[in-house]
Structure 1
Amino acid sequence: MFKYAICNETYQDWTLETALAHAKESGYDAVEIAPFTLASTAYDVTAKQRGEIRGKIEDAELDVVGLHWLLAKTEGFYLTTPDDAVRQKTSDYFCELARLCSDLGGKIMVLGSPQQRNLLPGVSESEAMKLAADCIRKAMPTLEQCDITLALEPLGPAEGDFLNTAEKGMELMDLIDSPNCKIHLDVKAMSAEDKPIPQIIRETHPHIAHFHANDPNKRGPGMGDVDFVPIFQALKEVDYRGWVSVEVFDYEPGIESLVKDSIAYMHKCEAATS
């Protein structure tokens, strides 16, 4: 049986308590937190606030997956810049995010943030790989100390021009060379690859730390053309035991539908693999 989570920004302007109660009632086991929904930066979330947020999640009888959209809506951070000072600042911020993640009770940090990793003028892909590895590697001792796994997220060309395939994600993971650095897979992103999604899952195992369920149309699973039955079959074949988190970008169907229809469809697909 898969463990299902929902990304908290799905609830947009709902209060945290109302969102948590709805997620629980809808059948989810955990929430995944976008830091920008808490404050402008992780530095701005006080120790008291961290304790209060964790308490509310525990009161709702939910777990915390961890954090995603790590650098979204921030300024001054960049993964692949040749500027040593900016890279160091970014590395330091990953350390603070790891502390925030741990304080909230999470274990996973999903690193997508394409706008802070796209290739800059004059920087080749191979150089960007080395710069990104340098930036992340400096933060890994703190992540290891906090028992946090950094999950590198390959994204399709519609999002950016760096780390566009799971294979490239594995290449960067190998450069970083830490037991706490693994791969995150996202259905929308994998749909942009030439390989079938089940094949990507099998080839990336056993390095998959986390999984996002969505559709290329930016809505929830089952709300587009992607059939999740073979995807879930592949996850079962490789004995994936991590979270399956719903992450959407198009809220037009409405929050209630996105939350409830997504998990209903995933349960149906999971049953079909039995």
Structure 2
Amino acid sequence: MTKYTVNCSILFQELPVLERPAAAKAAGFDGVEFWWPFAESVPADSEVEKFIAAVEDAGVELTGLNFADDIPGGFRGLLSNPGRSGEFRDNIDVTVGIAERLGTTKLNALYGVRLDDVADSEQDELAVVNYGHAAKAAQRIGATVLVEALNAVESPTFPIVSSQGVKNVIDRVAAETGQTNLAFLADFYHLARMGEKTADVLARYGDLIGHVQIADTPGRNEPGTGDFDFAELYTGLEKIGYDGWVGLEYKPSGASADSFGWNQ
């Protein structure tokens, strides 16, 4: 049986952040995941405590958490941005500390978008170093750092837009830092938008997959609103032995609480 976890940074936006874990629980889910849930890259201790309490009080598992990024600002990751990588590093211990207290073992570190005034090679070198720092910290609690591909249609300046691109990053981090606790966050919405076939992804990269996320294509709404073959995905995941959570990272076509009819 598929275990779904609700991404409460894209779903339940009608509610304040701290009310979303309870809303997910009320909708029948036992897991939640978040992008960086704070306004600041390094939040105050009181804000961290409030977030942890909201998850614990809701009675849900925090199945995944992003390291600090600036999605509202369009940066899609700070770890490869020379001007802001300090913000990424400053929050590593905060992220790992939250994960340790809530039993979270999947931590997503988004690659940064390309910058006009910085050479690609400089960004790539910095990304490897910072992935290494994040992975070393995560290793202390038995956690895995996830690497995700986005799609170039919606994120044209994002450099990692394929499964092979993710593998290249993971391999380079292992070779240059010795950290091997990195895995593929396979968001099949983004991969499908880039023309990747589900069966091919699972056959070629299945052993790298540490977490799965879904949304229907092409609109990124809930399952049943597009043309993505979810039956093929679930059959394929079972075949490769994936038994982890499947993250619901879709934009609800209406109210979030009304978007789960497909899961009846």
TM-score (norm 1): 0.80
Distance 2:56 2:78 in 1: 34
CA contact (8 A) 2:7 2:248 kept: yes
Which stretches in structure 1 are left out of the alignment for 5+ residues? 265-274
Task: Give 1:105's aligned residue.
Answer: 103
Residue-pair matches, total: 254
Distance 1:194 1:73 in 2: 26
Shift of 1:61: 2.7
Shift of 1:219: 0.9
Q: Within 5 A, what are the aligned runs for 1:1-274?
A: 1-9=1-9, 10-15=11-16, 19-36=20-37, 39-46=38-45, 48-68=46-66, 70-71=68-69, 72-73=71-72, 78-81=78-81, 83=82, 86-112=84-110, 116-118=112-114, 120-121=116-117, 123-124=119-120, 128-158=123-153, 159-160=155-156, 161-177=158-174, 178-215=179-216, 216-248=218-250, 250-258=251-259, 260-264=260-264
Question: What is the one-letter code of the residue matched to 2:228?
Answer: V
Give the direction of change, closer, same or farther, for the CA distance of 1:261–1:134 in structure 2 (3 Å limit).
Answer: same
State the identity as a percent.
19
Distance 2:39 2:204 in 1: 37
Distance 1:57 1:135 in 2: 28
SS of the aligned residue for 1:35 comes to: coil
Give the direction of change, closer, same or farther, for the CA distance of 1:147–1:154 in structure 2 (3 Å limit).
Answer: same
Distance 2:145 2:139 in 1: 9
CA contact (8 A) 1:211 1:244 kept: yes
CA contact (8 A) 2:42 2:87 kept: no
TM-score (norm 2): 0.83
Distance 1:186 1:129 in 2: 22
Distance 2:103 2:18 in 1: 17
Give the direction of change, closer, same or farther, for the CA distance of 1:127–1:44 in structure 2 (3 Å limit).
Answer: closer
CA contact (8 A) 2:139 2:181 kept: yes
Distance 2:2 2:62 in 1: 15
Give the direction of change, closer, same or farther, for the CA distance of 1:74–1:40 in structure 2 (3 Å limit).
Answer: farther
Question: What is the one-letter code of the residue matched to 1:27?
Answer: G
Distance 1:185 1:40 in 2: 26
Distance 1:130 1:222 in 2: 41
Distance 1:141 1:209 in 2: 17
CA contact (8 A) 2:109 2:131 kept: no
Moved more, 235-244 or 186-195: 186-195
Shift of 1:155: 0.8
- C-alpha RMSD over aligned residues: 2.7
Give 1 or 2: higher helix fraction. Answer: 1
